[in-house]
Each structure stands twice: as C-alpha cells, then as structure tokens.
Amino acid sequence: MNYTLVHNGNGQFVAPIPVSVFFPAGTTTVAVCVEAIPGTMGTELNSLEIILDTSQSPLLGCSCANDGEIVESVLYFCDPETVLPVTWLDFQAEAHPPSDEVFCTWTTGIEVNNSHFIVERSADMADWTPVGMVPGAGNSTTPRDYGLVDPAPLRGISYYRVMQVDDQGDTSPSVVRQVRLGGDGRLSVHPSPGANIFHLNGHEGGTVTIFDMRGRRVPFELSPQGVLTLPDAATGQYIAEVRWPGERDPEHVRIVVR
C-alpha cells in the first residue's frame, strides 16, 4: 500500500518516514512509526497529511473511501517540552468568492487560562488589523473548534492569523494563512477530470510542481496563460503544488486524468 505525505511545519523526524506499507498474509493492521525529534518543532503548527489513493493499489480489492478512492488523514505534532497556554491543532482561512467572505476556523487541543482569541488580517504581514474576537474556553483538555467570518475581506492577496490572549493579557499567535479573493482567485484547475490538458488558475508568481499519488514528480508544460499539459500522464490522480517566494506553506490542488 503506497501513500503520499505532505509535511507542514519545521519539525524533523526520526529516520525517513515510510511511504509504503506491506501487509503480511493474514494481517489486517500494520503500525507505522512517525516519531518527531523533540525540540525541533518550536511553537508553530506541525502536521503530516497522509493521502492514500486506493485506485493505485489494485491488490486491495476495494476502495477505502465512502465517496471516492482518496483517503486523507492529518497527524498533528506539538513539542512536549514547550508549554503554551494553547496547543494549536489547526488553523485555516478560506475565501468564499460567491459571498465575498473569508471563513476562519481553528482547533485547539489544550487551553490553559485562555481568555479569548482575536482574528487578525494583514495585506503585507507587517501591519495587522483585528477582524473579530471569539471567547476562549478558559481551561480545557479536549479538542475545541472555533470559527469566525470576515464579511469585508481585502481583494487580492491577504493574510490571516489568530492571536490567543490569556487571562494576564499575554498573547501567542497561530500560523499565518494566505488567502486570495477576486483577481486570479484561489488555486484551482479545470476541467477535472480531463484528458491531459487543463487550465490552472491562481498559480501566478509561484513555482509549480506536479506529483503523482506516490510522490513522484511528473513532467508537465505550463503556458503563460495557465494551460497545463501532462503529456505522459496515465489515467489517475495527481497533485499540483504551488509555492510562492517568502511563503512557508504551499497550496495544493488535485488533478484527475481520465
């Protein structure tokens, strides 16, 4: 069984993380060790996204997904040596062009004396403007989900973060997420499924890489107008990754070749 790993954050891991698992005859479960090196993750969010494409493993004999052949799971890591008032499990900011709003959602694992959260927005990652406030849980040891909608976001590229405020007024930030609204729009591809020729939107200014579901690079051609050609791609699913200068987190979009 082969799968793809997408790592977000600065954490380092003990030995290479395997990208394939072998199930001996008569065995239904196999443990995969993913061990982070203590002290390497700092205070920012670290995660591993595991993407399994069961269509690439015909010997499985079945699909593991309810609505397709892609199964995705995310593992979150935090440094036990770093004591923080909030353990961040996730933070996402997503543009919704039909309503011209940005949805911010985040999840905490542990909260200690946590008063509230302030969602902030910036056009340049230097000057930050408060968008809204959400009360915290105070003290909690179970995952908690939060959300806030920015009804009047900036056009084009902007950045979002959540500032956590404890009972003493001290703060700690989440990771920063980039959002595109209007103009070129979010990263997208169409048509998908398609026959080796697609149109990629939202990649301008970034570096594009195409991977198959086993994490191998796939040759491609990309015109200045965004016409993406995968001349040698077989039927299946692929991942387009775009990285922008100065940005830590890349964006991904799935491409289906029929």
The answer to whether the bond into 193 is cis (omega within 30° of 0) is yes
- pTM equals 0.46
pLDDT, one tens digit per residue, over 22-32 is: 878 887 777 77
Give me the long-range contacts of 132-140 (CB less than 8 A, separation at least 24).
136/86, 136/111, 136/164, 136/165, 137/108, 137/111, 138/111, 138/113, 138/114, 139/111, 139/112, 139/113, 139/114, 140/108, 140/110, 140/111, 140/114
What are the structural domains of the chain? 3-77 (no CATH), 86-181 (2.60.40.10), 188-257 (2.60.40.10)
Question: Residue 170: what residue type?
Answer: D
DSSP string of 121-153, one letter each residue: EESSSSS-EEEEEEEEEEEESS-EEEEEEESSP
pLDDT for 63 equals 53
Does the structure show a pLDDT above 70 at 60? no
Give the integer Cα–Cα distance in Å for 74 and 252. 15
pLDDT for 196:
87
Q: Is the pLDDT of residue 62 over 70?
A: no
Q: What is the pLDDT of residues 203-212, one digit of tens each?
A: 877 889 999 8
Distance, in Å, from the CA atom of 210 to the CA atom of 226, rounded to the nearest integer, reads 14
pLDDT value for 67 = 52
Could you tell me the two tokens for 119?
């969602």
The pair of three-digit structure tokens given for residue 48, joined into one six-digit string: 């591993």
The whole-number pLDDT of residue 136 equals 95
Confidence of residue 83 (pLDDT cuts 50, 70, 90): low
pLDDT above 90 (res 214): no
Q: Return the minimum-mean-pLDDT range out of 10-24, 33-47, 102-116.
A: 33-47
The C-alpha atoms of residue 131 and residue 149 are separated, in whole angstroms, by 9
**Cα–chain center distance at 97:** 19
Per the model's pLDDT, the better-predicted residue between 255 and 57 turns out to be 255
What is the average pLDDT score of the chain?
81
Scanning the structure block, which residue is given the tokens 């239904």? 28
Q: How far apart are CA 2 and CA 14, in angstroms?
A: 20
Degrees, nearest 5: CA angle 66-213-177 = 85
Provide the pLDDT for residue 59. Answer: 61
Q: Are 78 and 104 in contact (CB under 8 A)?
A: no
Q: Quick one: pLDDT at residue 97?
A: 64
What end-to-end distance do the CA atoms of the chain give, in Å? 22
**Using one digit for the tens of pLDDT, what is the confidence trace for 148-190?**
999 888 877 788 999 999 998 988 889 888 887 764 445 778 8
Bigger pLDDT: 146 or 20?
146
113-122, 172-181, 236-245 — which one is most confidently predicted on average? 113-122
